[in-house]
């Protein structure tokens, strides 16, 4: 069993997107990230204005804005943030359909590169990219989940699955399952509907009571509130920097990412795994057991 690893050359970064909440939260962190030449690709003067104002706010003079697609072609690493955001009542499949069209517009320009994928649903979109072009793709969704989850419950050592709580399993340091999202779909649905109702009806006393409950869904409810109401994307920005550091050569620290994994059978699957030193942080047997138990997941993200 082996995982895909970053391409060797890593010094030039092109950001596609960046004018939304994630991009704005990222800038202060990216400004402290040494060793990268950074260009933001835009398609409108509105986008350029937003970015250039943000550069000033963050006191950054070395970044630049480009309308030329050559800025994508000439970069070795692409940070893809562009796309439609998660809607309060929208479905994952609808989001995939709309954002697949957006990312498809740039697909051939990104061939042969490192791609840090932020646009949701990042596991499905990563599967689409890896099935279509030759590139190293890492989705940061599971790292973002782990950042927030480990704050709520430090007993969770790593996550297997997608950037979707219904498709995640949490494990402790002994590789024992402590939470199975596949088995909790109805609880997830009830939490989501209740939280959305509290937000829309401005019942923030009930929302806060709901958010303060001490259980595994607490991290996800906080994350959802960030997405639909609070607009804070700092945790996602931090996950991007962790992925950027990993691609840049800092491989000794554990990171979670959705990447291409080639199994002992020779088949490949695009799946969220913990990584350390370009290898699985967990045992291969743990991942094999996960995929065997979740055949519907394996079929969904199997690469042809």
Helix axes of 217-225 and 204-211: crossing angle, nearest 10 degrees: 140
> Which two structure tokens, joined as six digits, stand for 2?
């082996």
Decide if 57 contacts 159 (C-beta within 8 A): no
Q: How far apart are CA 207 and CA 202, in angstroms?
A: 9
Shortest CA distance to 115 belongs to which of 259, 266, 283, 234?
259
> What pLDDT does 55 receive?
93
pLDDT in tens, the chain (304 residues): 899 999 987 789 999 999 988 998 899 899 888 789 999 999 999 999 999 999 999 888 899 999 999 999 999 999 999 988 766 666 778 889 999 999 999 999 999 999 999 999 999 999 999 999 999 999 999 999 999 998 888 999 999 999 988 899 999 999 999 999 898 878 888 888 899 899 999 999 999 998 888 777 788 888 888 877 877 788 899 999 999 999 999 999 999 999 999 999 999 999 999 999 999 999 999 999 999 999 988 888 998 7
> What pLDDT does 77 receive?
97
- What sign for the dihedral angle of Cα 118, 119, 122, 127? negative
Record the pTM.
0.93
Shortest CA distance to 66 belongs to which of 110, 14, 10, 118?
14
Enclosing H/E stretch for 10: none
Shortest CA distance to 48 belongs to which of 77, 15, 76?
15
Shortest CA distance to 241 belongs to which of 89, 41, 13?
13
Longest CA span, the chain: 53
> What pLDDT does 87 receive?
65
Enclosing H/E stretch for 300: helix 295-301
Shortest CA distance to 79 belongs to which of 14, 158, 163?
14
> What pLDDT does 224 receive?
82
Q: How far apart are CA 5 and CA 136, in angstroms?
A: 7
Q: How far apart are CA 260 and CA 137, in angstroms?
A: 8
For 102-156, the DSSP string reads: HHHTTGGGGTTSEEEE-SSSHHHHHHHHHHHS--EEEE-HHHHHHHHHHHH-TT-
C-alpha pair distances (Å), 213 with each of 2, 217, 230:
39, 9, 19
Shortest CA distance to 275 belongs to which of 293, 288, 258, 295?
258
- Residues 6+ away with beta carbon under 8 Å from 256: 142, 143, 145, 146, 158, 159, 272, 273, 274, 275
What length is written for the chain? 304
């Amino acid at each position: 069993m082996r995982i895909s690893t970053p391409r060797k050359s890593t010094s030039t970064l092109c950001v596609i997107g960046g004018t939304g909440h994630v991009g704005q939260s990222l800038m202060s962190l990216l400004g402290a990230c040494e060793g990268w030449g950074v260009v933001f690709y835009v398609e409108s003067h509105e986008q350029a204005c937003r970015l250039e104002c943000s550069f000033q706010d963050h006191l950054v003079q070395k970044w630049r804005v480009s309308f030329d697609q050559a800025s994508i072609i000439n970069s070795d690493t692409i940070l893809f943030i562009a796309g439609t955001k998660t809607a309060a009542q929208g479905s994952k499949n609808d989001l995939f359909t709309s954002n697949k069209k957006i990312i498809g517009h740039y697909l051939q320009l990104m061939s042969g590169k490192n791609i840090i994928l932020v646009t949701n649903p990042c596991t499905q979109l990563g599967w689409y990219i890896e099935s279509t072009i030759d590139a190293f793709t890492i989705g940061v969704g599971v790292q973002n989940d782990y950042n927030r989850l480990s704050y709520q419950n430090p007993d969770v050592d790593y996550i297997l699955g997608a950037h979707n709580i219904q498709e995640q399993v949490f494990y402790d340091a002994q590789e024992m399952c402590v939470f199975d999202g596949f088995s909790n779909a109805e609880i997830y649905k009830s939490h989501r509907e209740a939280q959305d109702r509290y937000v829309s009806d401005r019942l923030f006393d009930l929302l806060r009571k709901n958010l303060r409950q001490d259980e595994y869904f607490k991290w996800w409810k906080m994350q959802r509130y960030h997405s639909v109401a609070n607009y804070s994307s700092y945790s996602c920005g931090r996950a991007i920097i962790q992925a950027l550091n990993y691609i840049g050569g800092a491989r000794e620290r554990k990171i979670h990412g959705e990447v291409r994994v080639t199994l002992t059978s020779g088949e490949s699957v695009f799946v969220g795994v913990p990584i350390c030193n370009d290898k699985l942080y967990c045992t291969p047997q743990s991942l094999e057991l996960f995929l065997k138990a979740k055949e519907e997941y394996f079929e969904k993200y199997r690469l042809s």
